[in-house]
């Protein structure tokens, strides 16, 4: 039994800087707000009809622990009859929550369900409470650099000497510019769920926009930043995503159920794949995962009309583009900007990519297929191919 899976809707909280506007906010409260915001936008969905809830977090302790998939479901006010579970595939947590839920829908176990992710990197610094097995290094299972994401990005620069620091900085600047333009046009705000936040000095506020974007970024400013992962290196805070807090949530259903309930259909899932690479160059992961997803779908890279690539590091995106022969400034790539500007709260980011792609589908009925893809720590990549429900058959 196999059924078509559709993305009905997706939302996210504004993303904050670690230690910034959500310093006094719990991670589970961010997730609860995203779930409630998603359901408020879809009143035709009876809460009791939701078959499952999968929520990702890369650090599953404290306010991101206690099976956040189940606890956030209860805290969001869903009936006790709605189950929930937690997912961990590091940066691709929400992406994996979506594909896992999609598998259950395709198989027929679920009709309609929620997938999402949360990361409060202020409350849970990257690597918190991790205890890597000594065998990793002693038996050379991985190199030392594999355990530091910035160091893996420097290694990717080594592997692709044509990807210079200047080229990475130029890509990063373009991400900031595209994000600023998208904000000016009101394209990002429409899918942000306002979130209450408390500052010790200023008291309560309502977060309505992302905290991280730097619209005044310049090439000169980027050129002067330190390279913390290697002396005279190429990876800086300016051409990398930041440390961020935020949550995302997506509503998925079988196409038949969505039509039965009169729900919107923002994208149809075509195929998905995960792949592994050397942990020391984890940023290359989206290349083999995309090759696998394309093969499963019977498509080629030329069939993809829109791309949402998570900008963990500029070099990672550029390595993907270089492999597939796509220009750095191709208009199909991250038209609303990306994580270098808005931030990358680890396990939540996969749904942000899908949300952006769905919005771009609305603006581009001439595009039939789009791709969401991201690199994953310890040497992996994840890719999902989607079909545009607004496709008019008039391919450019």
Beta bridge partners of 9: 251
In whole angstroms, what is the distance from residue 283 CA to residue 318 CA?
10
Backbone dihedral region for residue 29 (phi beyond 0: left; psi -120 to 50: alpha; all else: beta): alpha
Can you spell out the DSSP letters for 9-71?
EEEEPPPEETTSTTTTS-HHHHHHHHHHHHHHT-TTS-GGG---EEEE-SS-SGGG-S-HHHH
Active-site residue numbers? 91, 344, 375
In whole angstroms, what is the distance from residue 32 CA to residue 20 CA?
19
Beta bridge partners of 307: 333, 371
- 229-263 residues labelled b (16+ CB within 10 A) or e (exposed): bbeebbbbbbbbbbbbbbbbbbbbbbbebbeebeb
């Amino acid at each position: 039994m196999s059924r078509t899976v559709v993305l009905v809707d997706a939302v996210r909280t504004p993303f904050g800087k670690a230690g910034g506007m959500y310093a006094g906010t719990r991670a589970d409260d961010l997730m609860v707000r995203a779930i409630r915001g998603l359901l408020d936008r879809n009143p035709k969905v009876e809460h009791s009809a939701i078959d499952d809830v999968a929520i990702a977090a890369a650090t599953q302790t404290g306010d991101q622990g206690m099976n956040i998939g189940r606890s956030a479901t209860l805290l969001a006010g869903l009936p006790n009859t709605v189950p929930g579970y937690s997912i961990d595939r590091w940066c691709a947590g929400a992406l994996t929550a979506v594909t896992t839920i999609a598998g259950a829908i395709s198989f027929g176990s679920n009709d309609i369900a929620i997938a999402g992710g949360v990361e409060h990197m202020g409350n849970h610094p990257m690597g918190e409470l991790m205890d890597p097995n000594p065998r990793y290094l002693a038996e050379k299972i991985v190199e030392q650099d594999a355990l530091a994401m910035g160091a893996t990005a420097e290694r990717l620069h080594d592997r692709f000497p044509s990807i210079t620091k200047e080229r990475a900085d130029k890509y990063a600047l373009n991400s900031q510019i595209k994000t600023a333009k998208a904000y000016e046009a009101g394209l990002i705000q429409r899918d942000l769920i306002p979130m209450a936040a408390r500052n010790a000095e200023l008291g309560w506020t309502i977060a309505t926009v992302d905290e991280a974007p730097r619209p005044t970024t310049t090439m000169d400013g980027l050129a002067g930043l330190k390279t913390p992962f290697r002396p005279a290196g190429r990876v800086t805070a300016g051409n990398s995503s930041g440390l961020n807090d935020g949550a995302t949530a997506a509503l998925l259903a079988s196409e038949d159920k969505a039509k039965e309930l009169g729900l919107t259909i923002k994208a149809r899932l075509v195929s998905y794949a995960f792949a592994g690479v050397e942990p020391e160059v984890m940023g290359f992961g989206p290349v083999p995962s995309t090759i696998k997803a394309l093969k499963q779908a019977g498509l080629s890279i030329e069939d993809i009309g829109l791309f949402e690539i998570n900008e963990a590091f500029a070099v990672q995106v550029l390595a993907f583009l270089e492999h597939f022969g796509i220009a750095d400034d191709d208009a199909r790539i991250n038209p609303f900007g990306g994580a270098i500007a808005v931030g990358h709260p680890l396990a939540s980011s996969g749904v942000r990519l899908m949300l952006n792609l769905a919005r771009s589908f609305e603006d581009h009925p001439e595009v039939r297929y789009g791709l969401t893809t991201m690199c994953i720590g310890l040497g992996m990549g994840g890719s999902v191919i989607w079909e545009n429900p607004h496709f008019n058959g008039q391919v450019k």
